[in-house]
Every structure is written in structure tokens, then in C-alpha cells.
Amino acid sequence: MSKKTLIIGAGGVGNVVAFKCAMNSETFGEITLASRTLKKCDSIAKNIKDKVGVKIDTTTIDADSTPKLIELFKSLKPNIVINVALPYQDLTIMDACIVCGIDYLDTANYEHPDTAKFEYKEQWAKDEAFKKENIMALLGSGFDPGVTNVFCAYAQKHYFDEIHTIDILDCNAGDHGYPFATNFNPEINLREVSAKGRYWENGSWIETEPMEIMQVWDYPEIGEKDSYLLYHEEMESLIKHIKGLKRIRFFMTFGESYLTHMKCLENVGMLGIKDVEHKGQKIVPMEFLATLLPDPASLGSRTKGKTNIGIYAKGIKDGKEKTVYIYQVSDHEKCYEEVLSQGVSYTTGVPAMIGAKLMLEGKWQKKGVYNMEEFDPDPFMEELMVQGLPWKIEEKSNSQE
């Protein structure tokens, strides 16, 4: 019987997911794209019809409302819901999936709108309910989290007896020509990078000031870049699932212009997430800033350059020390040519489609709530090669550290 797929969220990532599902329509069957603003869904559907020749349906949804989601799910009866709206909607959508008995996938863990804190606690707490309803949730199926978790699982399976340290490296060397813009949702992006840094060593979390630790890493096909230590959500699950791990850190590159703008905006209070009174109205500074900044979905046609995201893993195999670097390089312009989106949306949307494909094909199926590294990495790594995100692996005798 033909499958039905529901995608929620018609932003930069939603565009890529919808394109890629349409390009794999023998697996995804009838596809519906639902979001807050219908005209964004319609415009994506038109582009897909024109470029891929596949018709997808569209509808509006307020994904903050579980009752409205339940109503939609009951009328559409999808086999899977791919959540690429915002992290604020993770719990409402998961709850509706539990009520309707539908598999769930997302790319970012739950964030409470009033606290700049993201963690898996609330989503993991739904494991029992997912098991009881005989359904599955796959959390964090983007690039980071997502592919980075799969890279770690792949290194663990094929290259190590024990992994001792992991450094996750995220370099976006793309240039959109604006003095300041974010490559994905501005609010989520700025909350992430302005928060305190954190890494995990010998069983405990070590907190740093925002951007306190900088290290230069050499990214193949890009070159050396200043990279800053941030907290990133995949570390929370990887410390549970990677054997023998002693330390895990996450680094992201930022250009000087980005950092200077961010510091100024922070200094004047524009990154605040609490209400302020303005001319008798309550506004949240960060939300107002997001309104002013370019829509990430509009950066596609003007972004040039490459992304390189990967993991450095060091550990022991057959009693000997070794280092393995697994990475993926994407070209912003090539991504735009294929699906009308820049590389950051592309590298997130393709893994979301692949995770959903493996679930629908029964290759990744377990009842309950799971992170990516809890599954066999091989089928995912094979799909990356053929779905637009080919990866490379280097074995090194000594690391850059």
C-alpha cells in the first residue's frame, strides 16, 4: 500500500526535505507539506512540480496546538511525521503522534521558548509512551546533530575498540554577501551561539564563557579556520552511547564580521529573550531582531563557498592508538542548483529525508524514542553517498591537537 508522508515546517530545511522526499517518492508516497504560512508551502510545491515533476499537497497548521495537530493527523493518516518546524514544537508534535500512533522524526531537540536551554530530557521521557503505542521517534536527524552522530557510530563500529576523544567540527565557509545574517532560523541560531560553551571530560560537563575557547582547525577543501567551542546537543546522547569516551567537544567556525555584529547586538540587549516594554507594547528583542534579519531561505541564490562538517575520533584498535577523521564537504551553489536552497539547509534536510526513508523501509525500526547513533550506521552512510552528501574518511597517525 502506498505510504503517506507529512512534513511540518516550510522554511529553508523544510524546502530541502520536501524536494528530497519528492525525489524519492517511491518510498515517501503521497507527500503533504504543512506549515504556519500556506503561501510558503505553495511556493515550495510549485518549485517541486516544476523541477522534479512530482505533485505534493499543502496545508496550514499551527504546530503549537496538539489538538489541531491531532485533527490534521486523523484526516491525513500519514505513516510518518517529519518535524522541520522549530524546536519549540517538538513536544506538541510528539504528543499528537502518540495519540494518533504515527512515527516521528526531527532535527533539533526541544527548546523552551522562555529559556535558552536545549536538552533531550523531555523528549526521552516520552520513550515509554512511544513503546506503548508501538511507534518510533528518531531524534536529531539533521547534520549536527544527525550525520555527526552516525559518523561516530560508524567510527565505533569499523575503526575502534574504544573511542577516547571526539571533536565535532562544523565549518561553514559560505559567503552570502550580507554583513550579518544567519544560515538557519536566526532566533535558534543566535540563542545557540550566544550561550555559554560546554564540553564533557572524564564524566563531567565543563562550562566556558561564550566563545572563550578558540582553536584553529584545518578543514580539507577549505583551509585553516578559527573555530570556537560551543555546546551542541549531540554530545548529550553521544556520551551515553560511545564506549570508553573520555572527552567530547564541538567546534564551529565564525567569521570576524559575524562575531563583531553578535557582540554589538548582545551589548545593546538585542539578543534578549525576555519581554521588554516598547511604546506600550511588549516585545522580545531577539524575535524583533529575527524579523529584521534576512530570511535564511532567501540566502540560497547568493551564497557561495563550501561547508565541511566532520568528526575527529581518537582511540584504540587492537592495542594501538589511532585517529580517524570522517567528513563531508558541500558546495552552496551546487545545493542551490539542485533544490533551490543553500548548503546549511541542504546538509540538514537531506539527512532528515534519509532518516525517514530508513524508517519507512523498516531498516531503522525500533519502538520507542532513539538518537541516531543507536542504529546500525551502515545503511545511513550508504544513503549519504547517493543522496547528495558523499563523505570521506582519513586515518591519521597523529591528530592536529
Residues 337-366 that bind ligand NDP (CB under 6 A): 344-345, 348
58: CB partners within 8 A, 6+ apart: 32, 33, 34, 38, 41, 42, 44, 45
Among 143, 219, 228, 370, binds ligand NDP (CB under 6 A): 143
CB of 297 to ligand NDP, least distance (A): 5
Place of cell 522549530: 86
| Host H or E run for residue 200 | strand 197-201
Site for ligand NDP in 88-117 (CB under 6 A): 89, 107-108
Cβ 316 to ligand NDP, closest distance in Å? Answer: 29
Q: Which is nearer to ligand NDP, 41 or 313 (CB)?
A: 41
327 binds ligand NDP (CB under 6 A): no
**Quick one: cell of 83?**
518535524
Can you tell me which of 5, 6, 11, 110 binds ligand NDP, judged by CB under 6 A? 11
Among 24, 25, 32, 35, binds ligand NDP (CB under 6 A): 35
Among candidate residues 157, 151, 164, 148, the one with its CA nearest the CA of residue 322: 164
Minimum distance between the CB of residue 321 and ligand NDP, rounded to whole angstroms?
30
Whether residue 179 is preceded by a cis peptide bond, meaning omega within 30 degrees of 0, is no
* Secondary structure letter of residue 272 according to DSSP: -
Q: Which three cell numbers stand for residue 109?
A: 531537540
What are 217's strand-pairing partners? 225
Specify the stretch interacting with ligand NDP by CB under 6 A; choose among 19-27, 85-93, 200-208, 215-223: 85-93
Q: How many CB atoms lie within 10 A of CB 132?
A: 11
Of 4-12, 200-208, 210-218, 360-368, the segment contacting ligand NDP by CB under 6 A is 4-12
User: How many residues does the structure list for the chain?
Assistant: 401
User: Should residue 14 be labelled a site residue for ligand NDP when binding is judged by CB under 6 A?
Assistant: yes
Indicate which single residue of 29, 30, 47, 62 sits in contact with ligand NDP (rule: CB under 6 A).
62
Residue 119 and residue 111: Cα distance in Å, rounded? 7
Can residue 76 be called a binding residue for ligand NDP (CB under 6 A)?
Answer: no
Query: Does 40 participate in binding ligand NDP (rule CB under 6 A)?
Result: yes
Asked if 323 interacts with ligand NDP (CB under 6 A), we say no
Query: CA 353 to CA 17: how far, in whole Å?
Result: 6
Cα 211 from Cα 190, distance rounded (Å): 13
State the nearest-atom distance from the C-beta of 200 to ligand NDP, in Å: 19
Residues 66 and 95 sit within 8 Å (Cβ to Cβ): yes
Can residue 188 be called a binding residue for ligand NDP (CB under 6 A)? yes
Residues lying near ligand NDP in the complex (CB under 6 A): 9-14, 35-37, 40, 61-64, 84-87, 89, 107-108, 142-146, 184-185, 188, 296-297, 344-345, 348
